[in-house]
Structure 1
Amino acid sequence: MPAEPPRAAPPPPPLRAARRKPLPEGRAVGQRAPLWLRARFQALLFALGCRIQRHCGKVLFVGLLVFGALAVGLRVASIETDIEHLWVEAVDLSRGF
């Protein structure tokens, strides 16, 4: 008997978001100040993203430069574990310096 061709998988169930009713178009409701602030913040982030995309090589280079500087700083840093060196004497501030 010849082998049967593989059957196609059933389609996935629709997403929950697709079943929801779309919001009516028009003005947003709520307090105006947070809405204005959110819109302004989103516009600034969008402009920043566009600039980063336009200058991706420069952004990558600066990011790697900062990462390298921080890595060198970690290599140079020393951790003091001796309690005697970590102790700070109490200073009486009422007598002045």
Structure 2
Amino acid sequence: VLKTIADAGVRNNTPVTLCGELAGKPISAMALIGLGFRSISMSPASIGPVKAMLTELPLQELKDFFKDNLMAPSLGTPMRALLQAFADDRSIPL
């Protein structure tokens, strides 16, 4: 559902922002960015850890990762575990 919303925003040249606690966790923020959200909001306490993750995030690699894993899910591996492995392999702080 979130991917559909992000894609609709891109198709209609309309910025879509996600607000809430979900965006305040680095691994969740990484997932939202991978799904296509480019504007997220969070509590002030979450900004530092999320910013640290974003500065190390290779955006094109993340887009490719999501394209591969959303179209052909990895044999029941939870997305959170896949994201953690993606981050670990690239030394992205979560």
TM-score range, shorter chain: under 0.3
Higher fraction of helix: 2
Which has the larger Rg?
A: 1
* Higher RCO (Cα < 8 Å, 6 or more apart): 2
Alignment TM-score, normalising by the size of structure 1: 0.27
Alignment TM-score, normalising by the size of structure 2: 0.27
